[in-house]
Structure 1
């Protein structure tokens, strides 16, 4: 068996790579491993999903696996991933399970796991679960009779999460008009209500999930419909979530995209000004633009850099006692309010900053002066072998030497697909494009 867990849980094409049998095995293994580590023979698990049709099938398998291992199961239904993390902590559950492939297209699905307190699993726990899955039926408890787990619906799961989000809003968002793109995903069940109850005037696109249309031409990976909607209704901004609403990207009133770097900078500066940025330091990943680093340095804010993945951002936040971190892709973690990336919490923070300052999103986001950047996804047969190739390493070193301190080169394998991502930043877009193309050709030839 190959490695199950990528950068964000187990993911693959539903009913092909990610089968009901595998989902059941992962759930049984997770219940057993976390029960052993938590010292309880009957763990409690919260289970949620996004609206993908395959989620119904996989939810049934996950619930069966958990109950088979003796766990008590609380079904939360369709909710964002951060809602499941919050509810895991709120209910005191030992395990949270979210069935979603996040921003990936509908044929894919995934399983994300949270431990007690709503935290992403550390590598050692994931490895233990993988070992238990590989061991098959010989691993983990097989209770009978009254020791089999029971299943019930978690009452008012949506309401609990909505009230949690609204508790973070310190001033009404009255006077702000936004378009929210729910990606035909989990955000559709609560995002419009949250933004309206916070005081904003809200227009919705991507808010009609049918099981097949999640992320289909909408959401944070497809901003064009949001741009058109914002311009069409004269909104102050647009907010785009992904299928499980753990991301937030934005567009200005003029339709210009605002990425996670700029949103992170806006939020960091806001917290810094009121003394709420722990350690006067923000956590970002290696993908953050050099312009973001320059902005933070000029404001007297330190930046701690991690590998790509919100789990690594979270690990750094917790280990260093910090409060804010995020990714260019729109995953932001506000550790004072959440245990994982939360797109709705991020949207509320961005809107609150606009309400507090009276400034437009374009003006707020302009603090980050981005270096020209290009990201090329190169399909390969073995992404890990490619990034370990001596030929590829030599090409990367040559490109970095050419750029010197005026730019940078980053090469990394995708955590979920057979892709190698080539990122180049340079003083000019032409130079970035030229170097990225050259390096992508080398990666492709070695793939």
Structure 2
């Protein structure tokens, strides 16, 4: 094929331009042909989505594609992404599709697939789907041998998801906890407030009135400042901000300070370690994780594995090591003991479980080092990363920060950028080191 459709999290683009109804239909056909029916009959596919206005169009097109290839479709409605693997497990689906562009603006949308094992599709399966797309485009389509499939509504999916959360956190008593939830006008807008209420919390909600276009618009985990202001103004004990598809979360303490994924993972790891529930004694994080996290885990005797950026790489590391806990600074937190996916709601509840009635403002899980990240536009990111002067400077600065901080210089995976990230004991030293390295990036534009 001339280009690769699948990125690190499915197929994504502007709805109606890049991600068209025609492409969604073709993807539905291809994923059905690539899947294996569990009972040797029709492929059974689950489709869920977030609140974007294009979701219904893509849902209909995807369902048409699946049924045109002989599969059966069950529509689960608006649900967070982590509900997909839970529903696969409950109902025995052969494949599930989530229609969402996560934290992106409403005009974007995406389709990501989960297999019968509840995991995102492997690179090999995605490559096979792309091959089938190419073959399908060149072939005359005919009805499948077993006939055309059907589309039905799967009722009760929200309750199914809520039940799984309630079972996992059945011992968590939130009576007396005043919480403010920012649902990003997205997939969590019904289920997040409900599970907190069921566990006894006093729940206040913002960004819970989706209109198809306001998802992630000045709200949610990518615009968490609004939540911080609202927590302070309302005198709430804690706040949580989800993203559009509900697979990530950031927190805000009662002072309005933002608590990122690194700190939430540290709290969870130390809590689970104290209770002898940290499977394998380790945690997996990405190269962007703050140096302070590594220091805290080292002091606690918790092993840390580091992966590339992306929750799928964290998940791969957890599976290879048979560990349970991992995640990203952005708020993707995976607890394999619950679901093999980031789950913002479950992560928020795990945070409250770890606090055990304490105040998030008094957290002591880790001490963050000042961090600075500069994205340098370049003409050729690969050429820039082979420059001997830059590489020598990275080595020298890293040696100077050994045991106190770190340097990370890497190319972007999607843009012509070189990302320069520095962490040091003081903001001044962080700025100085970062400035010296940025000045050495060859081919910088503007």
Q: Which residue of 2 aligns with 1:42?
A: 42
Q: Distance in 2 between matches of 1:3 and 1:393?
A: 31
Contact residue 192 and residue 202 of structure 1 kept, 8 A: yes
SS at match of 2:82: helix
Shift of 1:27: 2.0
Q: Which residue of 1 aligns with 2:288?
A: 287
Q: Which residue of 2 aligns with 1:226?
A: 227
Q: 1:226 to 1:135 in 2, by over 3 A?
A: same
Q: Which residue of 2 aligns with 1:337?
A: 338
Shift of 1:392: 5.0
Shift of 1:306: 1.2
Regions of 4+ moved over 6 Å:
none
Q: Distance in 1 between matches of 2:166 and 2:415?
A: 36
SS at match of 1:211: coil
Q: Which residue of 2 aligns with 1:92?
A: 92
Shift of 1:85: 2.2
Shift of 1:430: 2.8
Matches within 5 A, 1:353-372: 353-354=354-355, 356=356, 358-364=357-363, 366-372=364-370
Greater mean alpha carbon deviation, residues 52-61 or residues 418-427:
418-427
Greater mean alpha carbon deviation, residues 226-235 or residues 82-91:
82-91
SS at match of 1:209: coil
Q: Distance in 1 between matches of 2:384 and 2:113?
A: 32
Q: Distance in 1 between matches of 2:203 and 2:19?
A: 36
Q: Which residue of 2 aligns with 1:14?
A: 15
Question: Which stretches in structure 1 are left out of the alignment for 5+ residues?
Answer: none
Q: Distance in 2 between matches of 1:440 and 1:109?
A: 34
Shift of 1:362: 2.0
Shift of 1:393: 6.6
Contact residue 69 and residue 144 of structure 2 kept, 8 A: no
Shift of 1:274: 0.8
Contact residue 278 and residue 323 of structure 1 kept, 8 A: yes
Q: Which residue of 2 aligns with 1:402?
A: 397
Q: 1:167 to 1:70 in 2, by over 3 A?
A: same
Q: Which residue of 1 aligns with 2:269?
A: 268
Q: Distance in 1 between matches of 2:384 and 2:139?
A: 37
Which residue of the other structure, out of 412, 427, 430, is the alignment partner of 2:428?
430
Contact residue 173 and residue 352 of structure 1 kept, 8 A: no
Question: Which stretches in structure 2 are left out of the alignment for 5+ residues?
Answer: none
Q: 1:52 to 1:45 in 2, by over 3 A?
A: same
Q: 1:90 to 1:415 in 2, by over 3 A?
A: farther
SS at match of 1:333: strand
Q: Distance in 2 between matches of 1:395 and 1:294?
A: 27
Cα deviation, 1:103-148, whole Å, max 9, x if unaligned, reads: 1111111111100131111211112112222333357984348521
Cα RMSD (Å): 2.2
Q: Distance in 2 between matches of 1:23 and 1:301?
A: 44
Q: Distance in 2 between matches of 1:416 and 1:390?
A: 15
Contact residue 78 and residue 186 of structure 1 kept, 8 A: yes
Cα deviation, 1:379-402, whole Å, max 9, x if unaligned, reads: 567xxx514544557424413422
Matches within 5 A, 1:10-409: 10-35=11-36, 40=40, 42-138=42-138, 142-144=142-144, 147-169=147-169, 170-354=171-355, 356=356, 358-364=357-363, 366-379=364-377, 385-387=380-382, 389-392=384-387, 394-404=389-399, 405=402, 406-409=404-407
SS at match of 2:149: coil
Greater mean alpha carbon deviation, residues 436-445 or residues 324-333:
436-445
Contact residue 10 and residue 112 of structure 2 kept, 8 A: yes
Greater mean alpha carbon deviation, residues 112-121 or residues 206-215:
112-121
Q: Distance in 2 between matches of 1:132 and 1:411?
A: 38
SS at match of 2:168: coil
Shift of 1:439: 4.3
Greater mean alpha carbon deviation, residues 273-282 or residues 436-445:
436-445
Greater mean alpha carbon deviation, residues 411-420 or residues 320-329:
411-420
Greater mean alpha carbon deviation, residues 415-424 or residues 119-128:
415-424
Greater mean alpha carbon deviation, residues 418-427 or residues 11-20:
418-427
Higher helix share: 1
Cα deviation, 1:69-108, whole Å, max 9, x if unaligned, reads: 1111010111110112211222110111001110111111
SS at match of 2:106: coil
Q: Distance in 2 between matches of 1:54 and 1:440?
A: 40
Q: TM-score, normalised by structure 2?
A: 0.93
Q: Distance in 2 between matches of 1:247 and 1:444?
A: 35
SS at match of 2:339: coil
Cα deviation, 1:201-232, whole Å, max 9, x if unaligned, reads: 11111111100010000000101110111001
